[in-house]
Amino acid sequence: MGEKRAHASESESDSESDKQLTHTDNESNRQLTHTDSEEDGSDNDSMGSNEIVNVDFEFFDPQPIDFHAMKRMFEGSFGDDSDQFNTSALVDLILSQPSIGSTVKMDDDSDPYAFMTALSTRRDSEPIKQVCEYLVRKAGPKAQTLSELLDKHHVGLLFSERVINMPPQVVVPMLRMLMTELEKEDGFDFEYFVLVCSMYSEVPADDGAKACEMDVFVHAEEEFIEEFAHITFDF
């Protein structure tokens, strides 16, 4: 069963969360290589038992050519709720600030397999207002706390989306680059970040058998980010 969990985390904790996610990378910060190895099931004498596929991913600024792929990732992440705000206008906002955030692609002309960016809740924009109102409606008992946080503080809506088979190793350089870009640009001095996470929750079987309760993050790294959350709520 799919569900969402929203985190509101103080930006002061970014350095701590980055420590949890940081890995050592001696190569360029703008390129990542992913290797797939799979059994081909054929006779070892006639063909090799392993097929190695090397795929080079590169990091790019958000570009207009990415519009449809980014919109699909948004709609896939929010599911039926995606019709509660204008996802096209939301993607347009992301593309209007190309110096903030990044996409992961095989080349400049291909569709992105992942993207990460942040939008300011102080931006005078209808889709930003729609997202904030949507989150407050979903916050349940935390609605007042979240509403006050959005009203009294500069909050960044953090979006981190990727296709399901994209290796999570891309998250660390994307997060590191995003934090650097936010520090350099004016108007992005966020006090808090809000992140919506997709989750799976186990439900009881039809035969009445007792199932152990377990929530699983679709993006594993978000479990570490939750440790630094000021408030969390499920919906």
Give residue-wise pLDDT tens across range 142-180. Answer: 999 999 999 999 999 999 999 988 888 899 999 999 999
pLDDT of the residue at 44: 47
Instruction: For the chain, give the percent of residues with pLDDT over 90.
Output: 51
- Count of CB atoms within 10 A of residue 175's CB? 21
Pick from 9-13, 75-79, 132-136, 218-222: least confident: 9-13
pTM for the structure as a whole: 0.76
> 229-234 and 31-39: which strand pairing?
unpaired
Partners of residue 10 on adjacent β-strands: 192
The 10s digit of each residue's pLDDT in 176-215 is 999 999 999 999 999 999 999 888 777 666 665 555 566 7
